[in-house]
Amino acid sequence: MREKIVNFFCLMCVIILTLSVISCSSPAQKDETNTANQGSASEKLVIKGLLDKEVSIGTDELKTMQQVEKKVTAVDSAGKKTDYTVKGPLFDDVLKKYGKSQKELKGIRLVAGDGYSIEVPADVLKNRDIILALVVDGKELDSRSKPMRAVVPDERAMYWVKNLTAIEVLENVEKAEAKRVIFIDTVPSSVPVQEYNYYESKDKAFKTCDLLNKFKGNLDSDFLFIKSTDKLMKNETKDNFLKGYIKFTGTDSPAFVSDVLPVGMQVKNVLWFSYGEDVYFSAAGSLTYFEKISLDGKDGVKLSDITKEAGTSSSAKYVLTGVDGYTSEIESKDLENGLIYNDEKDGVSIYFKDLPKNTNIKGLLSISAKD
Ligand SMILES: Nc1nc2c(c(=O)[nH]1)N[C@H]1C(S)=C(S)[C@@H](COP(=O)(O)O)O[C@H]1N2
Ligand SMILES: [Mo]
């Protein structure tokens, strides 16, 4: 009996251990047959998380509601503009049927049948209309956009979700306070790296899954925040994030890329992304993002610009860790005097003019708040 109990516990331990490690096997290739939702899309919209039970509303019913007709301009990430006239009911009017209003929602995720999805944050919900477009330029939607397209006038086309099939109403997503900054530029020497085909070029990338497994702190989270150097801030679900790679060479680097997600979900020129208490920061990106300074012949940016942008928690002391495991300690007042620069030989490095030489680290991996 006793042996059985012990065995049982061992088994449980193994299960728990396996669960806490994210499996990094190659994600399944994009399944071209899995397009059941496209074209022959079921003609309805499912809304989850609004009421206790999910609700669904057919396009027939949407057509009977008050229709808004509006000339709109779509702007994509490359700045390309396209004009349309769209017609359909307002999402807010749909919500009213259920006694809710768009302004009171904390966030929603627009989900398409082709795997595309994007979170619309509270400030957009507060200030913009969301039109559930059923007609574009006087015509029925094409098969790739059916059953409806979300159109958010005056916001970027990334929110204009074609083939919209579901809307998930989200709870307030709280962002944990950052305790550690990890430099993306230095990560490749600690995780498996592979070749990645990005359009016509062969670049290098590592799996997001390997990254989180390597550095995962105590705090798990279902979401990540990603900011690019063009100031675009985006939330991504952990599930989606784990389907990709961080590409760190070639154009648009560092970039969140994936060979299974729609291309529109990739994020180019990442400045940082955060997961739990960790903020993964691009030192290369910071050199284009922050004001450059020069110190004793080294060109870089202030460490405090990075820690402020990352929202690093205040702490009396911070620990700097090099890629070789070497550590040094600094005080909070030193953040202002640290220079982050790129050393030709050793990559991301830190230099303090007035501190002992052993605080300077070449091949800097991370900065952690000590308490
Ligand atoms: N279903 C779906 N909707 C989507 C996308 C997608 O890949 N799938 N891409 C988005 C992005 S990133 C952009 S820029 C626009 C592109 O719209 P267009 O194809 O009409 O130019 O659609 C958005 N809506
Ligand atoms: Mo886009």
Q: Give the pLDDT confidence score for residue 341 in this predicted structure.
A: 98
Does 170 score more than 80 pLDDT? Answer: yes
Average pLDDT over residues 237-262: 97
The Å distance, Cα 160 to ligand 1 centre, comes to 6
Tell me which of 219 and 239 has the higher pLDDT: 239
Kindly give the number of the ligand 1 atom that is closest to the alpha carbon of 113.
1
Q: Give the pLDDT confidence score for residue 259 in this predicted structure.
A: 96
Q: Residue whose CA is closest, atom 9 of ligand 1?
A: 264
d(CA 53, CA 222): 22
Tell me which of 21 and 7 has the higher pLDDT: 21
Does 22 score more than 80 pLDDT? Answer: no
User: Above pLDDT 90, what percent of the chain?
Assistant: 84
The Å distance, Cα 76 to ligand 2 centre, comes to 5
Kindly give the number of the ligand 1 atom that is closest to the alpha carbon of 76.
14
Q: Is the peptide bond before 153 cis (omega within 30 degrees of 0)?
A: no
270-298 pLDDT, tens per residue?
Answer: 999 999 999 999 999 999 999 999 999 99
The SS3 of residue 103 is: helix
What contacts 20, CB < 8 A, 6 or more positions away? Answer: none
Kindly give the number of the ligand 1 atom that is closest to the alpha carbon of 145.
1
Q: Residue whose CA is closest, atom 18 of ligand 1?
A: 157
Q: Residue whose CA is closest, atom 24 of ligand 1?
A: 161
Average pLDDT over residues 138-167: 97
Three-class SS of 192-242: CCEEEEECCEEEEEEEHHHHHHHHCCCCCCCEEEEEECCCCEEEEEHHHHC
Average pLDDT over the chain, rounded to whole?
91
Average pLDDT over residues 130-153: 97
The Å distance, Cα 77 to ligand 2 centre, comes to 5
Q: Which residues lie with the beta carbon below 6 Å from any ligand 1 atom?
A: 76-77, 112, 114, 116, 157-158, 160-163, 262, 264
* CA–centroid distance for 10 within its chain: 37
Q: DSSP assignment, residue 59?
A: H
64-76 pLDDT, tens per residue?
Answer: 999 999 999 999 9
d(CA 112, CA 148): 10
Q: Residue whose CA is closest, atom 17 of ligand 1?
A: 157
Q: Give the pLDDT confidence score for residue 29 in this predicted structure.
A: 54
Average pLDDT over residues 236-242: 97
The Å distance, Cα 75 to ligand 2 centre, comes to 8
Highest mean pLDDT among 13-27, 41-55, 121-135, 216-230: 121-135
Q: What residues form DSSP beta bridges with 362? A: 349
Q: Give the pLDDT confidence score for residue 371 in this predicted structure.
A: 80
Planar angle of CA 274, 285, 227, nearest 5 degrees: 35
Ligand 1 binding pocket mutation candidate from 85, 114, 130, 160 (most atoms within 8 A of CB): 160
- Surface-to-core class of residue 12, CB atoms within 10 Å of its CB (0-12 exposed, 13-18 middle, 19+ buried): exposed
Tell me which of 33 and 29 has the higher pLDDT: 29
Does 32 score more than 80 pLDDT? Answer: no
Q: Give the pLDDT confidence score for residue 35 in this predicted structure.
A: 45
Average pLDDT over residues 124-136: 98
Kindly give the number of the ligand 1 atom that is closest to the alpha carbon of 82.
21
HSE-CB of 254 using CA atoms within 13 angstroms:
29
Does 40 score more than 80 pLDDT? Answer: no
